[in-house]
Each structure stands twice: as structure tokens, then as C-alpha cells.
């Protein structure tokens, strides 16, 4: 019986025990953080075709964009790279000047980056080319948008 409580007539004295149930926290494996840091980083060259962007006196019909992505394997890296370039293009200044359609994106090259190369960063911007495949001169080729 609880201290200071008076027993009720005809009711046997019982002890009430309450237990707070807390969710059990599972321990993370020791190498959890290490595995996350060891996700490979890939450099992927994405080509976009089907655009018509006036740059100076030239008409660019396509572009190359080099991006770096983290992925478990090369196939996932290709998917992430296409998604990244596809999501960046509509908000770029080049998309507003585009007289063609939405670019059709394909992978030109993919490579696995070494651990030290990851710190150098990815080159930015678009490299545009004309119908004959020659790069279109652009003063802002290094800019992302």
C-alpha cells in the first residue's frame, strides 16, 4: 500500500507499479560513419542535345556538363548525374535563351575519383558546341548558369 493512503473497505491492499516504456535505441555499428565516408565519388560527363541557344554569332545545339556525384556504383552515378543536370538546366540563364526543346541527356564518360581528387572540386558550367561539334566560344563557359 502507498504511504499515506487509507485502505478502502473490502478492497485488498495492492501495490501499483508503473513502468515507463522507452523505445530501445539500437546501437549503430562501429564502422557506420566510416562506410558513409567511403561511398565512391564519380566524375560524369553529361551531354545535352536538342537545344538551340544563341551565343554570340553561333547557335549552340548541345552542351557538355561535368559533374561529380556520390554513388554506390557506376550505374547509380549515371542516374544521379542525369538527374542533377536535368534539374539544374531549367533554372539556368541558357534555358531562358533556348529556342529548341528540352535537352536530351546522355552520358559521354564516367570515371571513379581517387580520394584526394575529391577535394579539388568539380569543374563548373556548360561547354556548348555547334552542329559541327566544334565548341562554341563563350566568355561565361565556366559559370554554372
Q: What pTM, to 2 d.p., does this model score?
A: 0.68
pLDDT for position 144: 42
pLDDT for position 91: 93
pLDDT for position 136: 87
Complete edge-to-edge strand list for the sheet that includes strand 104-112 = 104-112, 41-55, 58-70, 127-129
Name, in order, each residue with C-beta under 8 angstroms of 98's C-beta and a sequence gap of 6 or more.
Answer: 51, 52, 53
First-to-final CA distance of the chain: 75
Amino acid at each position: 500500500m502507498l504511504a499515506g493512503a487509507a485502505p478502502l473497505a473490502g478492497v485488498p491492499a495492492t501495490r501499483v507499479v508503473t513502468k515507463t516504456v522507452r523505445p530501445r535505441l539500437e546501437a549503430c555499428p562501429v564502422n557506420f560513419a566510416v562506410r558513409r565516408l567511403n561511398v565512391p565519388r564519380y566524375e560524369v560527363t553529361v551531354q545535352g542535345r536538342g537545344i538551340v541557344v544563341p551565343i554570340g554569332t553561333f547557335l549552340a545545339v548541345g552542351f557538355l556538363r561535368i559533374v561529380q556525384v556520390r554513388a554506390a556504383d557506376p550505374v547509380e552515378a549515371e542516374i544521379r548525374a542525369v538527374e542533377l543536370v536535368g534539374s539544374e538546366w531549367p533554372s539556368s540563364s541558357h534555358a531562358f535563351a533556348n529556342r529548341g526543346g528540352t535537352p536530351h541527356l546522355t552520358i559521354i564518360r564516367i570515371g571513379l575519383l581517387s580520394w584526394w581528387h575529391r577535394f579539388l572540386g568539380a569543374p563548373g558550367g556548360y561547354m556548348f558546341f555547334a552542329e559541327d561539334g566544334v565548341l562554341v566560344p563563350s566568355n561565361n563557359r565556366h559559370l554554372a548558369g
